[in-house]
Amino acid sequence: MSSPPGHSPLDGHDADGSFPFPHHQDANQGPQVSFLTADETVSRSGSPVHFPHQPTRSLEHELGHEDIDHIDHVADLGPQTPDLASPSESASIPDDTPSVQGSLASSIPIRRPRLNPRASTNTPRTPSGALQPFERRFSSRFTSPSPSPRAASPAFLSPHSRQSSLSSQIVLSQGGSDIADAPDAPWEVVRWTRLRKITSQAFSEAGRRNFGTPICLAVSSSITIGTTKGLILVFDYHQTLKGIIGQGTKAIECGAVTALAISADYSAIAAGHATGHIFTWELAHPAKPFLHIPPVPRNHQPHSPDGHVPGRSVLHIGFLGTRRTALVSADDGGMAFSHLASRGMGAISRSVKTTRLLGRYPAPNLQEEARIKPSSVLAFAPLPLGNVEQATDAMGLTALLTPYLLVIVSTTPVAQTQHKAPRPKSISRHSALSGCLAWFPAVKLKSSNSTTERDTSETKLVYCWSNVLTVLDVDVQVSQDPADKDKPPNLSFQSRSSWECEEAIVAVQWLSRSVIGVLTISQQMIIIEDGELHVMDSVDLLHRQIHHRDIFSKQLHPVVEQADNEHSEMHGVVADAFYQSFRVYKNRLFLLGASDLSVGTLSNWADRLTALIEHGDYIAAIQLARAYHTGQAGGVTVGLPDNAEARHELVNGRLLELMSASILFSFSENNNSGRPLSDLVAECFDACVSMKNQSFLFDDIYEPLRDAGQKEVFLEILQSYIMDEEVTALPPPLVKDLVESCVSKNQVAHLEELLCRLDPRTFDLDQITTLCKTHYLYDALTFVWNEALNDYVTPLSDLLALLRDVKDVQDEAEEAALESAVKVFPYLAFILTGRKYPQGDFLDDEKADTQKGNIYRYLFSHEITAWPPGSSFILKTKQDSSDEPAFPYLRLLLEYDSASFMSMMTEAFEDPYLNDSQEDDTTSVQPQTNGAGLKITRQYIVSVLLDVMSSDDFAPEQTIYLDMFIARNLPKYPQFMVLSNSSLHQVLYRLCSFREDDLVDDCQLSAEYLLSVYHPPVTTALIEQLRDAQFYRVLKTLYRTEHRSVDLINTYFEDPQGKNGIFDDLTYALQESHDKQITQLKDVLCEHAQELASINTSKTANTLARYTDDILERFVDAIEESYTRFHFLRTLLEPSLLDNRSKKVTIESVAEALVSRFCEQYVELMCVHDPRHVADYIGLLKSGDLDLDRVLPSMEENGVIDAAVLLMAQDGLARDAMDRLCKHLRTLQNAICSLIEAASEAPDKPLTSTHV
């Protein structure tokens, strides 16, 4: 169905791109996975490492070898590895968490504890200075990861930046030549060739003079260039000028060629001109136009034919399907048309039917034109033909992009909207306004054995608005019903993925079926792989000076200049048009520059590596190959398969061969790279770690370095990878070399960290054990025995033996041994809470329970025990031949440092292992002397500790920690611990009797814990005991429970610190106590008036005024400080002045009784502390409220004359008021005269305070 002449099926369509004809709804369609074969690239050979690839016919062969640019030089690129950093030391932190599993670990600093009952305890302090042995958690220096001592590998594939590709970095690092003049490096992701013959003919001065300036480009079987003189230059791929179209025809009178298109059969060219004319030319007969479609003047008649408006430039043009007589076009006024020419014998006999697809004709008057929203066609393209027949070939699908809408229409048999999409909301505000799009038609895929995979790819459209790129899949659904064979197919459109660029996108093209080339407004080309839309590389094209024109800014000026609620995000600038200069044909990219024409080809991955190797930059080659392996670079862009497994198989062998050759080449005489060997080794490490092929690293990389005397380079870098836990296992010979290296450099502490991050099953255990004991590396020793031999008791035995040997030694030379000996406490804390030492990772539950049982049974064994069971080795705790005490190993730890032991046991008590009944465990190893029936519970542990520490061998300075341990843990585990009242009374007694100031707070807190579950009778003896111990918090709790309010308030005054809660308790006491207690309480308050008011004067005043105002006079008189009394009375009489939010002075809310009782005293104090406010306050009082004889002396004494005069006047003593005022003025007169007189006598002498 056709429209009447002069009427479009889009009549009524607004400038923002809305369509009145039927619109097909989209259907969801999932993305299709695709694979791309290697692109055609130039083969290179002769490198030290050969990378075979399939030979292909290169574009350079078509263009001529003389036009290939060559490479000058390359700069080095590699990481800089900083010096190794020593691990940070751990520190103690308070434990604020309920269980070890949920808490952060904190270490205990090394100290030398008391060794006998007479020695003083030297326990570490918290930052506040208080001793808090139960407020910390043990840790090792391994529980917090050390910072990596190596620098991150250089990432040449960071998100889009001006020089983000590896090749760009290499060229820029050279710094020797101008980028604009330097030839492209062969390892660039795009290999560029300057078409010199075409450039010399079309861009030379003579060419511009004869043909005009090249301004648009179309590429197909030939390279065609449109010029400003209306001519079309046609070149073949040998760069030979095959024809000049338009000379001697009307075309040169129609202005510049502004749009070009080549038909699908390569036989015709269509050209749009700046004046609105369209010409088509047959390449076989270019002497005259095949078709001429002139613009149509608008006479505003109802049946005027459709066509471009004269003077409007045709910006876009294209052929529909296979026909040379079917065209679509769009102009800068926002109008788009389809043109269908009838068959005939020549141009004269042909008729053209033009149908309007988009836009409005200009309004007949300016007023009406001003109301129309301006628009333009930013991008426009008909769907090209693929290599497989599709139902859409005959539909004439065309995509149009305006500033507001993406519209896809079918032009055959009638114009119909197939899809619409609005401008995305995610566009950057105030970004440049730009738009571009490109189709990729359906193509036949390689045959697959899978029956489920499609043999034809889907049609795709990529379109960009400003900085947002979107890929749209088109699903064609053809009816299988023979009756519907003549009906057009149903189309569904699915926006599959989108990507946001950092700046506006001005041109976009499909470089291949899976690779998109994006050109940004700063002339940065970004290469994106379809699918996840990952940025694979970027190329700076600014130096190529791509031709661009300002086409849209005049038409769209109101869009970006005027505020608009609906499209406020569009305000910024209008980008220039680049789409006529950025073309792709058969995976080759053509750039129309301001002074030349260039062609670019995506490099094959093997060619890029070979080029770097030929240049001698092995490090950059390994970096690039590793990026290919990980998928950070390349992919289908450079001919690698998208599947990770297939990509690894293809790259791994090349990368291994490259690393081997690089190491050998580094020792050759021809190596003049100037790069340190460490850079190359570091890259080999990165590559092998990425490939998970560390055996190659140790065999093929390390051995040549060791043979060449360079093993230290390898070992230094190896250490950083061990610290980062990227290398966790070493062969025994390499472990031996690493140990020898660190020992020779006196880096034994660092060696310990390394050993604890490696798999100890590859160690020589005898060598490592001897080494660790010699250098006191007990963290590493325990780790090796735990992990390699699954023995957790032998390291404990070794630490106990070390502690036995050094605990009585006071020599500073034994500090290293002492520091290692005290690791017994964090070791026990880790194992007994199910964690690995020293890393802190949790053990498997079954293994953890087994080892906890072994440790407990050994530690709490009643006598010295053989370990392993049945062996002849028995650890003795006495170096002489004296008898061993009961529980020897436990006693050894308690004698050395009972505080740390109790801290460790506090952690162990939190572990649920002690909750179980622990039936006979056949999986654990039972020490022979303990018997198989020993069950470890919290009750058993406490009983043993009480028994052991009850002897006279332990001083109160040691046993106090057991008392605190019991007091704190009993409330936590009441169902697992039962102690008699007499035992608890003794614990409380000892807590109260301990007199070291450093532990008073800890003892009091422990007593509070204990009294939460133990409730002894509150006797006078207990009260006196608590008071003597200065346990004021405990006393307050007892008094509060016993409702002894007087004693409670008195305790607040005795407590030098905890006074903040006094007002809550005082309020409760004044309300709930009986009369006798209240009378006593009032006496206490008046006795401590100054102290109470000093805590918080306002709260004191408010509380007393509300609950016991009868003692206010006594209380005020008892306050010693004048200002405190003044503040107290102000709270009562002028509370609004103490409220910062109140600016108004008022006494309306103050009881008159308070004013009459305290106003004279308040005024007297105000004269001293706030004299400026006296007059204001007096003005608010009623006549007679103040006693003049009482307050006047204070006013005169403090110079408050204005208030005195006002007060006397209010009482009717006007004459007396005037006399006092005159007297005051005379006093001021005498003072001023004295000042003047003194100044005149000594004019050069500065005035001092004595003159005043």
Within-domain flag for 1003: yes
**Share above pLDDT 90 across residues of the chain, in percent, rounded to a whole number:** 49
Picking from 988, 1008, 1042, the residue at the C-terminal end of a domain is 1042
- Contact between 440 and 460 under an 8 Å Cβ cutoff? The reply is yes
Within a 10 A sphere around the Cβ of 664, how many other Cβ atoms?
A: 13
Predicted pLDDT of residue 78? 35
DSSP 697: I
pLDDT band at 1203 (very low <50, low <70, confident <90, very high): low
Residues 6+ apart with CB under 8 A from 491: 24, 392, 418, 419, 474, 475, 476, 477
Residue with tokens 């305790």: 1051
Helix (H, G, I), strand (E, B) or coil at 1191: helix
Within-domain flag for 73: no
**Is pLDDT larger for residue 187 or for residue 64?**
187
Beta bridge partners of 410: 397, 416
List the domain range (segments joined by +) for residue 769. 729-789
Within-domain flag for 98: no
pLDDT digits (tens, 9 = 90+) for 986-996: 999 999 999 88
Predicted pLDDT of residue 83? 37
> Average pLDDT, stretch 837-853?
93
Is the per-residue pLDDT at 173 higher than 50?
A: no
Is the per-residue pLDDT at 303 higher than 50?
A: yes
- Contact between 853 and 845 under an 8 Å Cβ cutoff? The reply is no
DSSP 884: P
pLDDT band at 818 (very low <50, low <70, confident <90, very high): confident
> Average pLDDT, stretch 920-927?
45
CA distance 852 to 868: 16
Provide the CA 419 distance to its chain's centre, in angstroms.
Answer: 39
Is the per-residue pLDDT at 770 higher than 70?
A: yes
Q: Which of 523, 519, 520, 576 is nearest to 548 (CA)?
A: 576
Predicted pLDDT of residue 273? 97
Residues 6+ apart with CB under 8 A from 443: 386, 387, 388, 456, 457, 513
Picking from 766, 789, 812, the residue at the C-terminal end of a domain is 789
Give me the half-sphere count of Cα atoms (radius 13 Å) on the Cβ side of residue 1019.
Answer: 6
Mapping DSSP onto H, E and C, the string for 378-428 reads CEEEECCCCCCCCHHHHCCEEEEECCCEEEEEECCCCCEEEEEEECCCCCC
Is the per-residue pLDDT at 383 higher than 60?
A: yes
φ and ψ at 256, to 5 degrees? Answer: -65, 150
Residue with tokens 């005159």: 1222
Provide the CA 24 distance to its chain's centre, in angstroms.
Answer: 43
- Contact between 1045 and 1032 under an 8 Å Cβ cutoff? The reply is no
- The mean pLDDT of the chain is 79
Predicted pLDDT of residue 257? 97
Predicted pLDDT of residue 567? 52
> Average pLDDT, stretch 290-313?
85
Counting DSSP H helices and E strands in the chain, the numbers are 40, 28
From residue 304, give the alpha-carbon distance in Å to each of 5, 6, 298, 300.
6, 4, 7, 7
pLDDT band at 69 (very low <50, low <70, confident <90, very high): very low
**Is pLDDT larger for residue 1111 or for residue 1235?**
1111
Helix (H, G, I), strand (E, B) or coil at 816: helix
- Contact between 317 and 259 under an 8 Å Cβ cutoff? The reply is yes
Beta bridge partners of 334: none
Predicted pLDDT of residue 456? 86
Within-domain flag for 512: no
Predicted pLDDT of residue 881? 66
- Contact between 580 and 519 under an 8 Å Cβ cutoff? The reply is no
**Is pLDDT larger for residue 1214 or for residue 683?**
683
Predicted pLDDT of residue 279? 97
Predicted pLDDT of residue 669? 62
DSSP string, 153-203: PP-TT-SS-TT-SHHHHHHHHH-SS-TTTSPPPTTSSEEEEE-HHHHHHHS
> Average pLDDT, stretch 233-248?
95
**Share above pLDDT 70 across residues of the chain, in percent, rounded to a whole number:** 74
pLDDT digits (tens, 9 = 90+) for 666-676: 887 666 666 78
> Average pLDDT, stretch 1052-1057?
91
- Contact between 233 and 227 under an 8 Å Cβ cutoff? The reply is yes
Q: Which of 492, 488, 265 is nearest to 391 (CA)?
A: 488
Give me the half-sphere count of Cα atoms (radius 13 Å) on the Cβ side of residue 465.
Answer: 22
Is the per-residue pLDDT at 876 higher than 70?
A: yes
CA distance 60 to 683: 34
Is the per-residue pLDDT at 664 higher than 90?
A: no
Predicted pLDDT of residue 168? 39
Predicted pLDDT of residue 40? 35
Predicted pLDDT of residue 553? 87
Is the per-residue pLDDT at 68 higher than 80?
A: no
Within-domain flag for 292: no
Is the per-residue pLDDT at 651 higher than 70?
A: yes
Predicted pLDDT of residue 1114? 93
Within-domain flag for 1128: no
pLDDT band at 329 (very low <50, low <70, confident <90, very high): very high
> Average pLDDT, stretch 218-231?
96
> Average pLDDT, stretch 698-706?
92
Is the per-residue pLDDT at 999 higher than 70?
A: yes
CA distance 348 to 147: 82
> Average pLDDT, stretch 421-433?
85
- Which ranges constitute the DSSP H helices of 574-710? 605-614, 618-630, 644-666, 677-691, 694-696, 702-707
Q: Which of 389-398, 445-454, 607-616, 817-826 has the lowest mean pLDDT?
A: 445-454
**Is pLDDT larger for residue 755 or for residue 1160?**
755
Tokens of 825: 């406490």
Name all contacts of 872-877 with Cβ < 8 Å and 24+ positions apart.
875/797, 875/800, 875/801, 876/804, 877/800, 877/804
Tokens of 224: 């065609």
- Contact between 653 and 625 under an 8 Å Cβ cutoff? The reply is no
- H/E element, 1077: helix 1075-1087
Is the per-residue pLDDT at 128 higher than 60?
A: no
Predicted pLDDT of residue 1033? 93
Is the per-residue pLDDT at 390 higher than 50?
A: yes
CA distance 229 to 216: 12
CA distance 54 to 45: 12
DSSP string, 845-875: HHHHHHHHHHHHHHHT-SS--BSSTT-S-B-
Domain count, the chain: 3
Picking from 746, 765, 789, the residue at the C-terminal end of a domain is 789
Within-domain flag for 237: no
> Average pLDDT, stretch 143-148?
48
Mapping DSSP onto H, E and C, the string for 97-112 reads CCCHHHCCCCCCCCCC
pLDDT band at 1201 (very low <50, low <70, confident <90, very high): low
* Burial class for 75, CB neighbours closer than 10 Å (0-12, 13-18, 19+): middle
Predicted pLDDT of residue 1039? 93
Q: Which of 316-325, 368-377, 386-395, 882-891 has the lowest mean pLDDT?
A: 368-377
**Is pLDDT larger for residue 1075 or for residue 486?**
1075
> Average pLDDT, stretch 533-555?
90
Residue with tokens 């066609």: 377
Within-domain flag for 1234: yes
pLDDT band at 318 (very low <50, low <70, confident <90, very high): very high
Predicted pLDDT of residue 152? 44
The C-alpha angle 200, 205, 211, rounded to 5 degrees, equals: 85
Range with top average pLDDT, 2-6, 342-346, 350-354: 350-354
Predicted pLDDT of residue 1007? 95
Mapping DSSP onto H, E and C, the string for 667-683 reads CCCCCCCCCCHHHHHHH
> Average pLDDT, stretch 425-430?
81
Is the per-residue pLDDT at 607 higher than 80?
A: yes
Residues 6+ apart with CB under 8 A from 1039: 1045, 1047, 1048, 1051
pLDDT band at 1189 (very low <50, low <70, confident <90, very high): low
Predicted pLDDT of residue 580? 92
CA distance 644 to 592: 37
Is the per-residue pLDDT at 1037 higher than 80?
A: yes
> Average pLDDT, stretch 327-356?
84
